[in-house]
Structure 1
Amino acid sequence: MKPTIGITTATGWENHREFSKVSHCYADAVAAAGGVPVYIPIILDTSMADDYLRTLDGLLLSGGDEDVQPHHYGEGPLHGLNNVSPDRDLWEFALIKAAMAQNKPILGICRGCQILNVAMGGNLYQNIFQQCPGAGEHYPQKTEMHHLYHSVTIEQDSLIHRLFGDKLMVNSFHNMAVKKLAPCFKVTARSNEGVVEAIESISHPFIVAVQWHPEALISHHSHFIALFKAHVDACKSDPKVN
């Protein structure tokens, strides 16, 4: 059977109602990589996270417009902090904890990279343009998501290096970024000016996160499907925990 990959969602509002939403590009990427995509709504009862993960083979932490609340890493909000979603933060922390307890592979994308680092004890630049000296533009306002925007340099001895080599052109849509790295991770890619662009676990069999948006690139740059295939393959070999 194909492995089932749970994809986290964001909160949306329309016609006075609240919805769970996420770009269909995530499901398209998972399906193209050989997995079965399953959307995970935001649940207020975080105790259900363990039950959710028992029905899934892997977890994909999606991106989104909500910034991770800085009080989770001991800071107050700085000028420029965007949308926040307290319910999403708490739900994704619970999903990450459950996935790790059940040894399920995790792939984080953009916000997913940030929430992973915070969940494991790291912190973030709330706004790299204000806080990260020398940082270039990482959130172009009039660029389509499938356009390659800047390069990253990739560390050897990493999954990202095995998939993509030493250098890679990526897209970019983020204001926040990893600042202090959580102890369980290593940095595996940076932009030219040093912004963290990918991290991987040094202890868990498969926790990989990137700051760019590969799900939006695969239709125009097919080599990015390799990351989703690596995640799906890890989920095939990862036994469910009963």
Structure 2
Amino acid sequence: MKKRPLIGLTLDAEPEGGWSKYPWYALRQNYFDAVNRHGGLAIALPHDSALANAYLDQLDGLIVTGGAFDVDPGLYGEHERHETVLLKEDRTTAELAFLKGAMARDMPVLGICGGEQLLAVALGGTLHQHIPDAFPAGLEHEQKTMHYAPAHEVEILQGTRLHAIVGARMQVNSSHHQAVRRHGHAKINAIAPDGVIEGVEDPSRKFCIGVQWHPEYFVDPGDHALYAAFIQACHE
């Protein structure tokens, strides 16, 4: 039997209070289920930048997850911060260490929502700090319905790795108020009907794809195909 590739998933973090009187990590169960369902073995990664390479030595693939926070605008050269921007600096520092370490090894990487945005920044891109300011007539990208339901369609651009995996169009959920502005060294692979960039990739690497939606909810058959392709790349 083929050994399951070990996939590291970055965790969210909260300070003491609420669920625990001590600082705590958390991540939705369906992130782990999606990996295991498609043949991987999911493990959680704490926010310890000093140990990033030690963890990566054991991993076959990396998923940078999303969350209700934003990438520090200073990381892409902007000194003013929109009033809606919420930072989790320790998380971002750790995720960047994991992401850059994985990319240096050409380890398969999947960035989800905020993870897609961080991937774009790591590849020299910038972000729209608040979509309603940049696209005042745009779609509602923070859907109010359950994330198991689609929010809108995206066009998958021809000639991209994502297009080869999922085809020309997908129905996706949507839970973000920021988006990629300039894509830097990355290649755009998906666009919403209002022009918002919905995915990026680095074609020079074995597997390096970021998507703005949450494929772990399996809204579209393409979400299954994306996970299957990612896990397959982790076997290679």
TM-score by length of 2: 0.93
Secondary structure of 2:225's aligned partner:
helix
Segment drifting more, 116-125 vs 2-11 = 116-125
The answer to whether structure 1 residue 19 and structure 2 residue 24 are counterparts is yes
Are residues 1:38 and 2:43 paired? yes
Where do 1:95-106 residues align within 5 Å?
A: 95-106=98-109
Cα distance in 1 for residues equivalent to 2:124 and 2:92 = 14
2:210: which partner in 1? 209
Contact 1:60 1:107 in 2 (8 A): yes
Please show how residues 46-125 of structure 1 align to structure 2 within 5 Å: 46-75=49-78, 76-81=80-85, 83-125=86-128
**2: distance between equivalents of 1:234 and 1:95?**
18
1:148 pairs with 2:150: yes
* Structure 2 gaps, min length 5: none
Partners of 2:62 and 2:148 in 1: CA distance:
23
Q: How does 1:159-174 map to 2 (within 5 A)?
A: 159-174=161-176
- What whole-Å deviation, never above 9, does each CA across 1:98-126 have from its counterpart, x for those lacking one? 10122210000000000111122211011
Q: Name the SS for the 2:43 alignment partner.
A: strand
Task: Specify the alignment match of 2:9 in structure 1.
Answer: 7
Structure 1 residue 88 displacement after superposition: 0.8
- Aligned AA for 2:24? F
Alignment check: 8 A CA contact 1:27 1:37 kept = yes
Corresponding residue SS for 2:210: strand
The TM-score, its normalising length taken from structure 1, stands at: 0.91
Q: What is the CA-CA distance between 1:217 and the residue it aligns to?
A: 2.3
* Contact 1:199–1:208 (Cα < 8 Å) also in 2: yes
Read off the aligned partner of 2:130 and give its amino acid letter.
N
Q: Which residue pairs with 1:177 in the alignment?
A: 179
1:147–1:217 Cα contact (<8 Å) kept = no
Q: How many residues align?
A: 230
Identical residues among aligned pairs (%): 37
1:152 match: secondary structure: strand
Output the amino acid matched with 1:32: R
Partner SS, residue 9 of structure 2: strand
**Secondary structure at 2:228 match in 1:** helix
Could you tell me which runs of 5 or more consecutive residues in structure 1 were left unpaired when the two chains were aligned.
238-242
Partner secondary structure for residue 42 of structure 2: strand
Question: After TM superposition, which residue ranges in structure 1, 4 or more long, deviate above 3 angstroms?
Answer: none
Aligned letter for 2:35?
Answer: V
Aligned-partner Cα distance in 1 for 2:77–2:221: 40
Cα shift readout 1:197-235 (whole Å, capped 9, x = no counterpart): 1111021111011000110226xx554211111111000
